[in-house]
């Protein structure tokens, strides 16, 4: 769309926004996506009670769910990657059909140490692959005591439904430091 007179707002308003709303990365497409993210409900997950090759997370409150996920720091380094979402875990909502999701928040339920923790959340075929591809976010959590629950907002970007999600942590100054958490996602149709 070429605008010849930007001083005429009716020229912009008269354009059919619906025609470009479905165009990937157009301004109206991005605004619609942002509106869905801000206004959409969240789906919250705990560890699957019975994990399979494609199922690693149960919706919270699922009978037989496994409770909080646990990640553990290594020997004063990053701990092992733990898969927290499998290819069969999204879309979490069947109607309407959601094609994208973003991890948007974790709630820390318990930690082993009163210490600073660094957390990485990534998506990919493995944690290392996601990290190498740049598909990750990092957050910091400072625990003042072991039962100091806290909500941490994530800025992880949209991923296609069925993407694998991984997490790991580092406890500053310790050779171990586990963290128990739940996490939430928001979903979008496109």
- 3-61 residue pLDDT tens: 444 454 444 444 545 455 556 667 776 776 666 555 567 899 999 999 999 999 999 98
My answer on whether 96 and 177 are in the same domain is yes
Instruction: Over range 142-164, report the average pLDDT.
Output: 85
Tell me, yes or no, whether 28 lies in a domain.
yes
Q: How many CB atoms lie within 10 A of CB 16?
A: 9
Q: Is the peptide bond before 126 cis (omega within 30 degrees of 0)?
A: no
More confident residue, 7 or 186: 186
pLDDT of residue 168: 97
Domain count, the chain: 2
CATH of the domain at 158: 2.60.120
Give pTM, 2 decimals. 0.79
Distance of alpha carbon 152 from alpha carbon 130, whole angstroms: 21
- 116-148 residue pLDDT tens: 999 999 999 999 999 999 999 999 999 887 777
My answer on whether 123 and 168 are in the same domain is yes
């Amino acid at each position: 769309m070429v605008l010849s007179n930007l001083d005429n707002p009716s020229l912009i308003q008269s354009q059919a926004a619906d025609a470009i709303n479905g165009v990937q990365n157009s301004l109206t497409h991005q605004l619609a996506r942002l509106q869905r993210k801000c206004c959409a409900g969240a789906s919250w997950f705990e560890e699957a009670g019975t994990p399979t090759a494609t199922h690693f997370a149960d919706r919270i409150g699922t009978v037989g769910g496994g409770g909080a996920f646990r990640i553990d720091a290594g020997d004063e380094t990053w701990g092992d990657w733990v898969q927290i979402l499998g290819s069969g875990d999204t879309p979490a909502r069947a109607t309407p059909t959601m094609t994208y999701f973003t991890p948007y928040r974790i709630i820390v339920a318990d930690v082993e140490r009163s210490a600073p923790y660094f957390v990485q959340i990534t998506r990919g075929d493995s944690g290392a692959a996601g990290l190498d591809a740049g598909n990750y976010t990092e957050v910091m959590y400072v625990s003042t005591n072991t039962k100091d629950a806290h909500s941490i907002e994530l800025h992880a970007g949209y991923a296609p439904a069925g993407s694998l999600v991984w997490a790991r942590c580092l406890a500053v100054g310790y050779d171990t430091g586990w963290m128990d958490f739940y996490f939430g996602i928001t979903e979008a149709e496109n």
